[in-house]
């Protein structure tokens, strides 16, 4: 493990798990302040009918449903959601959907308690103003947004930035595998790979610790077994629940240990080319993992134990997982002309430096260029 004599772990929300989890939501909310509810969801989840199921579970509260635009949160979409929360009386804020909907809900619950835009709190430029009670109901299995204190948001220029604070950790989480069963295959694959990247980066990072590593190890083992299954059979509720548990465990790990260079690369791909997050960080890990693990093998001892292989076999194990899950097929339609120089520069942007600095292996400027070049090479191999 990293040389670390003391560390702190974040709170774990009350969590309801299983096919009947949604039925317990109403009673779980009786312990939270808030007579009303604002459900923040994405249009895809509404189209499946799952939002209606959530609304029924919330009655007899006064319920407002707010749909967020497609894509990752922006300053404009978070501020719009915050206005809905302010106008709702005394609400509990409930995010239903993928990481984008949950992140929007978390940020809206916080920024609604003051007059300023979420833009005032980007990159922790000032303390968060307060919070409304928060519930997270993820319909994807990968981001871990339901159990982290970090949220993603893009500014007006499209830069992929973040907000962070204890205020954004949900009070209640519902892991319902029937909700995850509504995901398209490409989303299943991308978010599932995201969970694996979270786990392996957390337990190899500079901030790694034994307790968080245990959750990361279990997350990796679950993804290795169950992601190929749900990628081939989306109705497999046993594997759907296992993937939700994996995403949750990996979320716990990154909330306490952070991420590394794969996320720096992934955020660069997201900012520059709007590549979906799960695919972008998986490409980043494919590009960096062999270099990382060969240079700092001790940092990957936990990963090798979880995957039941030698440290030098870990990169091949991840590549095999990507093939088994159908990563290349999930990238269909992502026709991007990547620039090595632009990727290398964006990896070092102020918003991405915490990930670079937390990486298992120290990264020099020349290493960024090399890793950006490897990223472009991985991209072309997967797209060919």
| Mean per-residue pLDDT pooled into runs of 10, the chain (384 residues) | 69 95 93 92 93 94 94 94 95 95 97 96 94 96 94 90 95 96 92 98 96 96 98 96 98 96 97 95 98 98 97 98 97 93 96 96 96 97 90
- CATH of region 185-383, choose from 3.90.340.10, 1.10.3720.10, 1.20.1090.10, 3.30.300.30: 1.20.1090.10
Reading the block at residue 200, the tokens are 């392996």
pLDDT at 4: 54
Query: Quick check: bond before 121 cis, omega within 30?
Result: no
Residue 296: alpha-carbon gap to chain centroid: 25
For the domain covering 14-180, report its CATH number. Answer: 3.40.50.1970
Residue spans of the domains in the chain: they are 14-180, 185-383
**pTM for the full predicted model:** 0.95
Pairwise CA distance, residues 86 & 66, whole Å = 12
In order of 35, 246, 309, the CA distances from 202 in angstroms are 38, 13, 19
Give the model confidence (pLDDT) of 295-322 as tens digits. 999 999 999 999 999 999 999 999 999 9
Whole-number pLDDT of residue 89: 87
Classify strands 36-41 and 62-67 as parallel, antiparallel or unpaired: parallel
Summary count for the chain: helices (H), strands (E): 17, 8
CA end-to-end span of the chain: 39
| Tens digits of residue pLDDT in 219-263 | 999 999 999 999 999 999 999 999 999 999 999 999 999 999 999
């Amino acid at each position: 493990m990293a040389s670390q004599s003391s560390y702190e772990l974040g709170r774990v929300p009350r969590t309801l798990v299983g096919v009947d989890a949604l039925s317990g939501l109403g009673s779980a909310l009786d312990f939270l302040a808030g007579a009303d509810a604002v459900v923040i969801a994405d249009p895809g989840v509404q189209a499946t009918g799952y939002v209606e199921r959530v609304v029924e579970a919330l009655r007899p509260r006064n319920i407002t449903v707010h749909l967020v635009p497609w894509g990752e949160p922006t300053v404009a979409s978070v501020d719009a959601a915050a206005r809905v929360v302010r106008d709702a009386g005394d609400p509990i804020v409930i995010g239903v959907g993928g990481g984008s909907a949950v992140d929007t809900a978390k940020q809206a619950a916080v920024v609604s308690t003051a007059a300023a835009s979420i833009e005032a709190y980007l990159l922790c430029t000032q303390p968060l103003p307060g919070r409304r009670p928060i519930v997270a109901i993820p319909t994807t299995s990968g981001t871990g947004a339901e159990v982290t204190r970090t949220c993603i948001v893009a500014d007006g220029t499209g830069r992929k930035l973040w907000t962070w604070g204890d205020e954004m950790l949900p009070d209640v989480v519902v892991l319902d595998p029937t909700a995850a069963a509504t995901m398209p295959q490409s989303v299943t694959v991308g978010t599932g790979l995201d969970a694996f990247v979270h786990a392996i980066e957390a337990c190899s990072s500079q901030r790694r610790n034994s307790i968080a590593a245990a959750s990361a190890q279990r997350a990796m083992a679950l993804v290795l077994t169950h992601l190929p299954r749900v990628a081939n059979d989306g109705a497999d509720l046993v594997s759907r629940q296992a993937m939700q548990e994996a995403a949750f465990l990996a979320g716990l790990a990154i909330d306490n240990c952070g991420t590394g260079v794969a996320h720096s690369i992934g955020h660069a791909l997201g900012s520059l080319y709007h590549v979906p997050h799960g695919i972008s960080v998986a490409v980043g890990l494919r590009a960096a993992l062999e270099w990382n693990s060969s240079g700092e093998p001790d940092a990957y001892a936990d990963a090798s134990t979880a995957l039941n292989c030698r440290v030098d076999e870990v990169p091949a194990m991840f590549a095999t997982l990507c093939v088994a899950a159908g990563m290349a097929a999930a990238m269909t339609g992502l026709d991007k002309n990547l620039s090595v120089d632009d990727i290398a520069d964006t990896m070092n942007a102020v918003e991405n430096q915490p990930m670079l600095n937390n990486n298992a292996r120290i990264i020099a400027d020349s290493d960024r260029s090399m890793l950006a070049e490897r990223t472009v090479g991985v991209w072309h191999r997967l797209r060919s």
